[in-house]
Amino acid sequence: MKSASGTTRKSIQKISPIDVYKLLPKTNCGECKEANCMAFATRLVNGELFLSGCPPLFTEKYARAREALEELMEPPVRAVTFGTGKNAVTIGGKYVLWRHEFTYHNPTAVAIDVHDQMTPDELVQRVGSIAQFTYNYIGRTLNVNAVAIRSVTKDPAAFAAAVRSVAGATDLPLILCTLDPAVMKAGLEKARDSRPLIYAANGDNWSAMADLALEAGAPLVVSAPGDPALLRSLVRTLLDCGVNDLVLDPGTFAGAGLPETISTFTDIRSQACRQFDELFGFPLLGLPLAVWTGDEISEDVLKWKEAVLASMLMSRYADILIMHSLDGWVLLPQLIWRFNLYTDPRKPVSVEAGVKPFGRPDKNSPVLVTTNYALTYFTVESDIKAANLDCYLIVADTGGLSVESAVAGRIFTAESIATALKDYSIAGLVDHTTLIIPGLAARLSGETEEATGWKILVGPKDSSGIPQFLREHWRTEH
């Protein structure tokens, strides 16, 4: 398929570093912190760096080359940003259907709803709960990303008051939700400087909503539930009107309509990524809160259905979700699943190698060693902190592999442990030469003693056993 300028768009798998290198300055200036322009081009194609990492490209001299590179690297699914400042959210920007083909970027945004029938105090309290919802997962802070304000009263004044209350209570990005242009206009007047996401333009109101989006400079959701043909037509019309930042709402149907929902989301993303359908090349919006419009009277069942629907939509390419429940058991699975989907499958999640002191270690404190696989490290860290232990923990660089995998792959070895002891000057931290290795690395004990000259104690296989192990063995040794 050819772009507007006439160049043939390639899939990301067909773009080679040479294609990119030809358009770079080729000065090897080092401003990108890479060894040379070819190294930068390689990492750019792999999705590890961005064009902004090459400052010379953004000078007038290389303006045409930058434009050509931007066109070459343009994803089939456009990126759309709403909100401002450090909390602004970018969604879309996808190149492929499957994460093993190319790392996903711009994680699915999760928004929680409020509505204009709530009192100002209720709004402020719920918005506070939304902003404070955080969870530390293997060293990463997981949270929700936006607040969706729904017009239930259909009254412009009530909606404007709700938007004003929410905007004053949080700097999270806002989604303004109403199909009435008059109500939307009132809300936008209270959130004009925050670049909210406008929900939504449909077959009846698209002209007025387009005018509001252009006036506010805000992205616009295009909604055509259950009608992909109408959705494409609306997108084409809105693009002709000059509205370029669009988000697609193909419709979210719970219950019997769920198979159709998942199929439609999948078809739209497939057409964008495989057939380069520019009218479907926009972020997708899913509405798990749709389950709350059903006949089910049990809140627990509704929350369970919302959680399941959210996970399915995220797995099938939803770039933003609007949810209702704030319960941890509903939200945490979504945030953790999002984290897993949007990590690079080619690179294990790791932490920085080094030596970590816990408590108040002294010259007689035990020294333990583990790998820098994030889940391993934070599990060990949690167990050490829970027991209030005073010790040193050596975190060996195993490329983000767990103990068992790193031992099997000959990455966590006697030699690497000896190197870590030397590099981190462990001998200067303690007066003894005893090292505790993980139980899963027991077979390394003999050769590690030979390589290091230290006495090796084989610790428990599970870090939860470290406190008891130290009580039983460390005091007898020291």
- The confidence score (pLDDT) of residue 346 equals 73
For residue 103, the model assigns a pLDDT of: 80
Question: What local confidence, expressed as pLDDT, does residue 1 receive?
Answer: 40
Task: Tell me what the mean pLDDT of segment 128-148 comes to.
Answer: 93
Smallest CA-to-CA distance from 375 within 355, 404, 334, 346 is with 404
Mean pLDDT over the full length of the chain:
92
> Which one has a higher pLDDT value, 106 or 139?
106
- Per-residue pLDDT, 73: 81
Q: Looking at per-residue confidence, does 296 or 326 come out higher?
A: 326
Span 137-166, mean pLDDT? 95
CA–CA gap between residue 68 and residue 177 (Å, rounded): 37
Q: Is 473 a residue whose pLDDT tops 90? A: no
Q: Is the pLDDT of residue 477 over 80?
A: no
Average pLDDT over residues 165-189: 97
Percent of the chain with pLDDT over 90: 81
* Residues 190-208, mean pLDDT to the nearest whole number: 96
pLDDT at 130: 97
Query: For position 7, what pLDDT does the model report?
Result: 37
Q: What is the pLDDT of residue 8?
A: 43
| pLDDT score for 104 | 87
Q: How confident is the model at residue 50 (pLDDT cuts 50, 70, 90)?
A: confident
Residue 424 phi/psi, 5-degree rounding, is -100, 10
Higher pLDDT, 295 or 201: 201
Q: Find residue 92's DSSP bridge partners.
A: 79
pLDDT of residue 3 exceeding 50, the answer is no
What domains can be seen in the chain, in order of their start residue? 12-72 (1.10.15.40), 79-341 (3.20.20.20), 354-477 (3.40.50.11600)
pLDDT in tens, 236-272: 999 999 999 999 999 999 888 999 999 999 999 999 9
* pLDDT score of 76 more than 80: yes
Taking residues 458-471, report their average pLDDT.
94
pLDDT score at 138: 80
